[in-house]
C-alpha cells in the first residue's frame, strides 16, 4: 500500500452527533477498503458544542485508533484526525438546520486552510447532510465534492424537491407529491422545518436542497432494494446507495451496567419482548411517560424500556438526556405491577445488542434512520413513535404497505407534542406482538435485502456502488498547491 503521505485522501467533514459522526466514519472506512486501501481518510473535526458531546467523540476516536493499532497488517484504514479551531456558536438561530449551517460557514476559512495544507492528493471533500456551505470551499479549491446523506432516500427526495415547493401553498387536509412515493405524503408526516415557513431555518433547509445540485453526487445510507422507487425517481444529482452502513462491533461499556439489561433478556422467551428506545437524544415528558406505562401495563406483554430523563439544557446542539429518576417519572406501583415481565432501564443501553437478541420481538422507536436500519438488519418489526426532524417522514414510509411496510401504524398527535394515548399504545402493542404477521414477514424480507446489499461474496448492490464510487474518487484526485505549512 502507498504511504498515507502519497496516496490520495478522502476529506470528511462530519458533525458531532453520534448518529452522524460514526456512520460517516464507517462509510469512509468502507470506501478506503473498497479501493484496496489505495486511499486514506482525513477527518476534519469541528469542536463539539458541549463537553459531553466532545467526550463521546473523543471516545469514538480513541477506540478507532486502538482498532487501527490492532490491525493485522499494521496499516489500518489510514485515518488521521485534524481538529479545527473554535468558533463562536450562533445563539440567534431558529432550528438545527440553521445552527449547523452557520457553524460550517464560520469554519470555511479553517476548512480551506486544512485542505490546502495537505501534502497528498485530495480525492474528494465529503460533507455531512447539513454542511452544504462547505461546498463553496470545494469549489474554490477545485476539489470534487460529495454529500454523505445519513438519512433515508425519502428525506433526500424531499430536500431536493424543497426549492420548488417554496412557492406552493400547503393545505392542512392535502398531501404532498414526492418523486418515487406511491401516494401523496400527508403534511403531518413532513419535518417541522417544512411546516414552519416563517422561521429562518426553513430558508436554510430549502437552500440545502438547492446546494445539493452543486455536489458531484450524494452518498446515501440506504440500500437499492430498501427504497427502490424513491431512488429510481431521483434524476439528479447522481446517487450512490451504499447502506446499510452500520458499526456492528459492540462498543465496550464503561462499566458492567449495560450488560445487565441484555442479561435480563436471556431469561425471556423468544420474540416475546417489546423493546422501547427513543434514541441517544430522545426524551419524553412526564405525561408521555405515564401514558406509556399505562399502555404497557394493560397490554400484558413483556417489555424492555429505555427511559431517559430530561436534559439540563434543551437548546440545539446541547440536548443530552440524563439518567432517569424512575420514582419521579413512573406511576406509583407500576414497577411492582409489571415485575417479572418488564424492565425499565434508566440510562443508555446497547441498542444494537438488544435488537440482535432473540428475545426481542418488536421495537418502539423514534424512527431515527440509524435505529430503523439497525432494526431492519436484525429483522425486528417496529411501532413508529417519531419525535421530530426526519422521523415523521420515516414513520410514514415504514408503515406504508406500498413502501417498506415494516411497522404497525401508531397514532401520534403532533399538536400535543407527539403524544400517544395509552389505549392507542396498548392496541398497537397487542397488534404487533400477538399478530401482525404480514409486517413481521416484511421485516424479515427487508433484513435479507439489507444483508444481501452489503454481501461482498454475492456482489451486493451496495458493494457495487462502493466500488464505482471509490474508482470515481481515485480518478478525480487533485494535488492542491502547497502553502507554507502542512498538516
Task: Give the pLDDT confidence of 186-243 residue by residue, as tens digits.
Answer: 988 999 888 888 888 888 889 999 999 999 999 999 999 999 999 999 988 999 999 9
Q: What angle do CA 360, 364, 367 make, to 5 degrees?
A: 120
Q: Is there a contact between 115 and 122 (Cβ–Cβ < 8 Å)? A: yes
Read off the C-alpha cell for 212: 445539493
Lowest mean pLDDT among 106-110, 430-434, 481-485: 481-485
From the number of C-beta atoms within 10 Å of its C-beta (0-12, 13-18, 19+), residue 66 rates as exposed
**152/156 Cα distance (integer angstroms):** 7
**106/8 Cα distance (integer angstroms):** 27
Whether the domain at 9-243+455-475 and the domain at 257-447 fall into the same CATH topology: yes
Lowest mean pLDDT among 65-74, 208-217, 298-307, 365-374: 65-74
Beta strands 122-127 and 9-13, pairing class: parallel
pLDDT band at 2 (very low <50, low <70, confident <90, very high): very low
**147/140 Cα distance (integer angstroms):** 17
Read off the C-alpha cell for 177: 407529491
Q: Which of 115, 104, 21 is nearest to 61 (CA)?
A: 21
**Fold of the 257-447 domain:** Rossmann fold (3.40.50)
- What pLDDT is attached to residue 224? 95
- What pLDDT is attached to residue 22? 87
- In this model, does residue 17 exceed pLDDT 80? no
pTM of the full structure: 0.90
From the number of C-beta atoms within 10 Å of its C-beta (0-12, 13-18, 19+), residue 41 rates as buried
> What are the backbone dihedrals phi and psi of residue 364, each rounded to the nearest 5 degrees, phi first?
-85, 115
Q: Is there a contact between 42 and 11 (Cβ–Cβ < 8 Å)? A: yes
**432/439 Cα distance (integer angstroms):** 8
3-class DSSP state of 43: strand
Read off the C-alpha cell for 291: 401514558
Sign of CA dihedral 425, 426, 432, 433: positive
Q: Is there a contact between 82 and 44 (Cβ–Cβ < 8 Å)? A: yes
| Of 247 and 42, more confident | 42
The tens digit of pLDDT for each residue in 384-403 reads 999 988 999 999 999 998 89
CA distances from 152 to 144, 218, 406, 431, 481 (A): 23, 12, 15, 26, 37
**198/450 Cα distance (integer angstroms):** 39
How large is the angle between the packed helices 437-453 and 461-475, nearest 10 degrees?
40
Domain boundaries, the chain: 9-243+455-475, 257-447
| Of 109 and 257, more confident | 109
Q: Which of 296, 279, 299 is nearest to 330 (CA)?
A: 296
Q: What angle do CA 225, 226, 232 make, to 5 degrees?
A: 65
Read off the C-alpha cell for 65: 485508533
Q: Is there a contact between 429 and 292 (Cβ–Cβ < 8 Å)? A: no
Catalytic residues, by residue number, are: 20, 128
Alpha helices in 142-248 (DSSP H): 153-165, 192-195, 200-212, 228-233
The arithmetic mean of pLDDT across residues 310-324, rounded, is 64
**277/349 Cα distance (integer angstroms):** 9
- What pLDDT is attached to residue 448? 97
**123/470 Cα distance (integer angstroms):** 9
Residues 6+ apart with CB under 8 A from 336: none
Q: Is there a contact between 314 and 298 (Cβ–Cβ < 8 Å)? A: no
> What are the backbone dihedrals phi and psi of residue 123, each rounded to the nearest 5 degrees, phi first?
-80, -35
C-alpha 185, offset from chain centre: 21
- What pLDDT is attached to residue 55? 81
Which residues are registered as beta bridge partners of 42?
11, 80
CATH of domain 9-243+455-475: 3.40.50.2000
Q: Residue 300 region, left (φ>0) first, then alpha (ψ -120 to 50), else beta?
A: left
Read off the C-alpha cell for 396: 410514514
Amino acid at each position: 500500500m502507498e504511504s498515507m503521505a502519497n496516496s490520495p485522501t478522502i476529506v470528511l467533514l462530519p458533525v458531532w452527533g453520534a448518529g452522524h459522526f460514526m456512520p460517516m466514519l464507517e462509510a469512509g472506512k468502507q470506501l478506503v477498503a473498497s479501493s484496496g486501501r489505495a486511499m486514506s481518510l482525513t477527518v476534519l473535526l469541528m469542536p463539539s458544542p458541549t463537553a459531553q458531546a466532545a467526550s463521546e467523540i473523543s471516545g469514538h476516536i480513541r477506540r478507532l485508533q486502538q482498532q487501527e493499532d490492532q490491525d493485522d497488517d499494521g496499516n489500518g484504514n489510514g485515518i488521521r484526525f485534524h481538529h479545527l479551531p473554535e468558533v463562536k456558536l450562533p445563539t440567534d438561530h431558529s432550528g438545527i438546520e440553521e445552527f449547523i449551517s452557520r457553524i460550517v460557514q464560520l469554519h470555511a476559512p479553517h476548512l480551506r486552510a486544512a485542505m490546502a495544507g495537505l501534502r497528498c492528493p485530495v480525492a474528494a471533500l465529503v460533507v455531512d447532510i447539513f454542511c452544504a456551505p462547505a461546498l463553496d470551499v470545494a469549489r474554490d479549491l477545485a476539489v470534487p465534492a460529495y454529500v454523505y446523506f445519513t438519512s433515508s432516500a425519502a428525506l433526500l427526495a424531499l430536500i431536493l424537491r424543497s426549492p420548488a415547493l417554496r412557492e406552493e401553498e400547503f393545505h392542512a387536509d392535502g398531501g404532498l407529491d414526492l418523486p418515487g412515493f406511491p401516494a401523496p405524503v400527508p403534511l403531518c408526516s413532513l419535518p417541522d422545518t417544512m411546516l414552519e415557513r416563517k422561521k429562518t431555518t426553513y430558508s436554510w433547509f430549502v437552500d440545502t436542497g438547492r446546494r445539493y445540485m452543486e455536489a458531484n453526487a450524494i452518498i446515501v445510507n440506504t440500500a437499492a432494494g430498501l427504497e427502490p422507487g424513491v431512488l429510481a425517481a431521483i434524476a439528479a444529482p447522481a446517487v450512490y446507495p451504499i447502506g446499510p452502513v452500520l458499526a456492528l462491533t459492540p462498543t465496550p461499556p464503561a462499566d458492567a451496567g449495560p450488560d445487565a439489561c441484555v442479561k435480563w433478556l436471556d431469561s425471556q422467551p423468544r420474540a416475546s419482548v417489546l423493546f422501547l428506545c427513543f434514541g441517544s437524544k430522545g426524551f419524553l415528558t412526564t405525561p408521555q411517560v405515564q401514558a406509556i406505562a399505562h399502555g404497557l401495563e394493560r397490554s400484558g406483554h413483556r417489555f424492555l424500556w429505555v427511559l431517559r430523563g430530561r436534559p439540563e439544557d434543551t437548546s440545539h446542539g446541547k440536548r443530552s438526556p440524563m439518567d432517569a429518576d424512575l420514582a419521579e417519572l413512573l406511576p406509583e406501583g407500576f414497577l411492582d405491577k409489571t415485575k417479572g415481565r418488564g424492565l425499565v432501564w434508566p440510562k443508555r443501553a446497547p441498542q444494537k445488542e438488544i435488537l440482535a437478541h432473540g428475545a426481542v420481538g418488536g421495537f418502539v422507536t423514534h424512527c431515527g434512520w440509524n435505529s430503523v436500519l439497525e432494526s431492519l438488519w436484525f429483522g425486528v418489526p417496529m411501532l413508529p413513535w417519531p419525535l421530530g426532524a426526519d422521523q415523521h417522514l420515516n414513520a410514514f414510509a415504514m408503515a406504508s404497505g406500498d413502501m417498506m411496510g415494516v411497522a404497525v401504524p401508531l397514532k401520534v398527535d403532533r399538536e400535543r407534542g407527539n403524544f400517544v394515548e395509552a389505549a392507542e399504545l396498548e392496541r398497537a402493542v397487542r397488534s404487533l406482538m400477538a399478530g401482525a404477521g404480514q409486517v413481521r414477514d416484511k421485516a424479515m424480507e427487508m433484513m435479507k435485502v439489507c444483508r444481501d446489499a452489503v454481501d461482498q461474496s454475492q456482489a451486493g448492490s451496495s458493494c457495487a456502488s462502493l466500488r464505482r464510487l471509490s474508482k470515481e474518487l481515485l480518478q478525480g484526485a487533485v494535488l492542491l498547491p502547497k502553502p507554507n505549512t502542512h498538516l
